[in-house]
Structure 1
Amino acid sequence: MVTFITDGVKVSVETIYQPEYSNPANDHFMFAYKVSIENMGSYAVRLMSRHWYIFDSNGAKREVEGEGVVGQQPVIEPGTSHEYVSGCNLKTDMGSMKGEYQMVRLMDNAVFDVQIPEFYLIAPYRMN
């Protein structure tokens, strides 16, 4: 698990290789990732959008942007967290992701970016 804190918002990510949804013979590798976003600050925040940078080990890079996460723009109160699970497919058995969430502080509508730490997507057999 990797963790990073930006402006009182803690983002933690863990990954899981999905062999049942992967097809290595066709260069298709599926990974799930679980994200926990914890508001360690004093004010409620809303997650407005996400921006991902996705890298395969063959040098390919993709960017994904969109509103919210898995169809939601959650409000995260002080001392609480929001968790979700999503997935990413790669053409290689190793890669990485990183990015940022755009948040708005509800008290004053201040907009700020929260860093998503870089995390690695690695098929377990590559760890031997």
Structure 2
Amino acid sequence: MSTKETCKGACLCGAVRVSATIKSRDIGACHCAMCRQWGGGGPMFAVECEEDVAFEGEDHVALFSSSEWAERGFCRACGTHLFYRLKEGGHYALPVGLLGDDIQWRFTDQIFIDRKPAFYDFSQDTRNLTEQQVFELFAGD
């Protein structure tokens, strides 16, 4: 279900501000090794966005090419994680914490569930996809 809702947020220091149209209030957790390393050991909790993602203070956005198909953005000044995005196709995943706590998010999905370490679990009933299932899903687009 698409809400076409626009959310706003900022990095810790305020140098970068974002405005994004979210696909829904559903959030997912990515347990891939790269997201867990980027986030300090836990998964990345993200909300998927339409192509309508705009940044103010873009000169403070640093990019890291994390694979052949994706890159991650963060604030040069404070290090806040700003996005994971596909290099082609306009798909953005924004860390849900970037957009604030005033939205009633729903935790609905977990990806790379077969890469999740044993030291944490979540009690919510979610749709769970393995690494192979994720790649098959994106290959179908």
TM-score (norm 1): 0.29
More strand by percentage:
1
Q: More relative contact order in 1 or in 2 (CA 8 Å, sep 6+)?
A: 1
* Greater C-alpha radius of gyration: 1
More helix by percentage:
2
